[in-house]
Structure 1
Amino acid sequence: MPAVFEFDRYAQLFSELGASGHPAELHGHLVGRLSAGARLDHATWLSVAQELIDGRNAPGEAAKVALIQLYDATLSQLSGSGFDVTLLLPDDSAAIDHRTQTLGQWCEGFLGGFGLVERKMALSEEAEGVLRDFAAIGQVQTELEESEANEVDYMEIMEYVRMATLLVFSECQDSATGQDQPPASLH
Structure 2
Amino acid sequence: MPLPLAEVHGLCCGLLCSMSSTAAKTRWFTELLDAASLSPEAVASKAGELKTLDEWFGQTLGTLNDADMDFSPALPDDDVSVQVRTRALGDFCGGYTYGIGIALSQRGHKPLPADTREIIEDFQAIEAADVDDSSTDEVVFTELLEYVRVGVLLILEELRPITPVTQLKPS
TM-score (norm. length: structure 2) = 0.79
Aligned counterpart, 2:156: 169
CA 1:103–1:54 in 2, change beyond 3 Å: closer, same or farther? farther
Aligned to 1:70: 56
Q: Note the alpha carbon deviations across 1:104-160, whole angstroms, 9 max, x for none.
A: 0110000101111134863222111100100100011122249xx710100110011
Q: Are 2:17 and 2:160, in contact at CA under 8 Å, matched by a contact in 1?
A: yes
Q: Report the aligned-residue RMSD.
A: 2.6
User: Which residue matches 2:141?
Assistant: 154
Query: Taking every aligned residue pair, what percent have the same amino acid on both sides?
Result: 26
Tell me, yes or no, if the aligned pair for 1:37 and 1:169 is still in contact at 8 Å: no
Quickly say closer, same or farther: Cα 1:174–1:68, change in 2 above 3 A: closer
Q: Give the AA of the match of 2:137.
A: N
Structure number with higher helix proportion = 2
State the Cα distance separating 1:48 from its structure 2 match: 2.6
Structure 2 partner of 1:46: 29
Tell me what 1:29 maps to.
11
Q: Which runs of 5+ in 1 are unaligned?
A: 1-13, 177-187
Structure 2 distance, partners of 1:35, 1:80, is: 13
Query: Which structure is larger by alpha-carbon Rg, 1 or 2?
Result: 2
CA gap of 1:151–1:164, structure 2 versus 1, over 3 A, is same
* TM-score using structure 1 length: 0.73
What are the Cα deviations for residues 44-86 of structure 1, in whole angstroms up to 9, with x where unaligned?
Answer: 5433322234579756232112211111011111122222212
Which aligned segments of 4 or more residues in structure 1 are displaced greater than 6 angstroms?
A: none
Count residues with an aligned counterpart.
Answer: 156
